[in-house]
Amino acid sequence: MHDTVAHLIGAESALAGQAPPPSGADIRGLPHVRNDIGALNEQWVQGLRGESSDAMLDRFRAITATRRAALETMSAEEFDAPSWTPAGPGTYGRFMRIRVFDCWMHEQDVRDAVGMPGHGHGPCAAVALS
């Protein structure tokens, strides 16, 4: 679960313009790292590995509050602007729909790990897939 939360913190932190913490690991040499996105994700996972659960929760709450505030102030033009997305060229809004789906999927990972029932295909998944 720690690595999953580190991934979520890292993705949102990168979108907020924050650099990953140093890890001291050869990220590119890991067999599961196959591209630049994977390397960035892994840098955050490795760099946050020593953080306590309380520190991770604090980080998660802080970056999600920061990102929410940034998204709330965006204009429609900014949201509809051309952007890179993990699925190829699109708009910033499309990228954020992908982020919502990614977050929802990882919530299910955490729920599964702690034995909590999942939410099924709720509204977050429907928005992300549209």
CB 11 within 8 A of CB 99: yes
CA dist 51 and 126 (Å) reads 33
pLDDT for position 120: 60
CA 8 to CA 41: how far, in whole Å? 9
> CA-based angle 99:58:24, to the nearest 5?
80
- The larger pLDDT score, comparing residue 80 to residue 111, is at 80
Confidence of residue 58 (pLDDT cuts 50, 70, 90): very high
Q: What is the mean pLDDT of residues 59-73?
A: 96
Work out the mean pLDDT of the chain and round it to a whole number.
88
**Helix runs in 18-52, H state only:** 36-47
Give per-residue pLDDT as tens, 9-20.
999 999 999 999
- CA 64, distance to chain mean position in Å, is 10
What angle in degrees, to the nearest 10, is found between the helix axes of 2-15 and 53-72? 30
- SS3 for 75-93 is CHHHHCCEEEECCEEEEHH
pTM of the model: 0.83
